[in-house]
Amino acid sequence: MKKVYLYKKFERFWHWGQTLLILTLIFTGFEIHGTTSYMGYRQAVEIHDISAWAFLILIVFAIFWHLTTDEWKQYLPTLKNMKAQLNYYLVGIFANAPHPVKKRTLSKLNPLQRITYFALKVIIIPVMVLTGLLYMYFDYPDIGIEMDSLEWVALIHTLGAYLLLTFLIIHLYLITTGRTATSNLQAMITGWEVVDDDEVIDLVEEAVEEAGLKIKPVEDDEQSHEEVKELVVKALKETEEKVAEEKLKGMEDHKKINKKL
């Protein structure tokens, strides 16, 4: 078993920030709705509004990060391995079967997660933001939104809240379905995911593939493409030599740790 750095710092900050804000919005939302009564209507509205704006700001930063890092591709729905994933959750998980879809740096989500997160980020959360803004500015002085009734807005917003709550409950359960009951949670805190040796090899190959995709010749002719291939091969050989001599930064860090031990 090895550890692989899978979740970046902003990714973890965004995940936990989003979690905290959604929980706050759900709690205060039910307070406003009258389902619970812990802090009072006025205070619940104030906290709900502040959390909503903070969530909107976080969404803007998250969209920018996803677009500039190509992380948005993680959420594109796919049917590949869908049947295997369904069988795993229905049967395999209870028989300690191996996970059918391995996590990769460029593909951290299985097919069911992709569909779920896509619906969450592209449909449910945008709808919640839109209906929330309609709530906040309904008949507001000067810049108010004119509508005959808030009934349909309230129904959609409340339905969205229950869907978010359902997602959180399922998400909490799925957190416990890793290699250990807490391994997924630890990975999202530290960024390091525990994987087996075969997965490490796949991740290294993926890193090489990704690097190759980011290199192309200036001139689009056969000779130029051959030169790029030769350059990549040369880089791989030099990297292999550095690994053997433990001159890569990661290898040097391991040496320092071993000396301390």
Tell me the domain boundaries of the chain: 2-195, 215-260
Give Cα 56 to chain centroid, integer Å: 17
CATH class, domain 2-195, is mainly alpha
- In angstroms, the CA 147 to CA 134 distance is 9
pLDDT digits 0-9 by tens, 48-64: 999 999 999 999 999 99
pLDDT digits 0-9 by tens, 1-59: 788 888 999 999 999 999 999 999 999 999 988 888 888 899 999 999 999 999 999 99
| Confidence label for 105 from pLDDT (cuts 50, 70 and 90) | confident
Yes or no: say if 222 and 130 are a contact pair by the CB < 8 Å rule.
no
Q: Helix, strand, coil shares of the chain as percentages rounded to 5?
A: 70, 5, 25
pLDDT digits 0-9 by tens, 137-148: 776 545 555 666
- In angstroms, the CA 64 to CA 48 distance is 24
Q: How far is CA 123 from CA 75, 129, 130, in A?
A: 13, 10, 11
Going by C-alpha positions, the residue among 252, 205, 212 that lies closest to residue 229 is 212
Residue type, position 29, single letter: G
Q: What are the backbone angles phi and psi of residue 37, rounded to the nearest 5°?
A: -150, 85
What pLDDT shows up at residue 142? 54
Sole residue written with tokens 């802090």: 39
Alpha-carbon torsion angle 141, 147, 148, 153, nearest 10: -110
| Number of Cβ atoms within 10 Å of the Cβ of 26 | 17
H or E segment and range at residue 5: strand 2-5
Going by C-alpha positions, the residue among 86, 87, 85, 88 that lies closest to residue 96 is 88
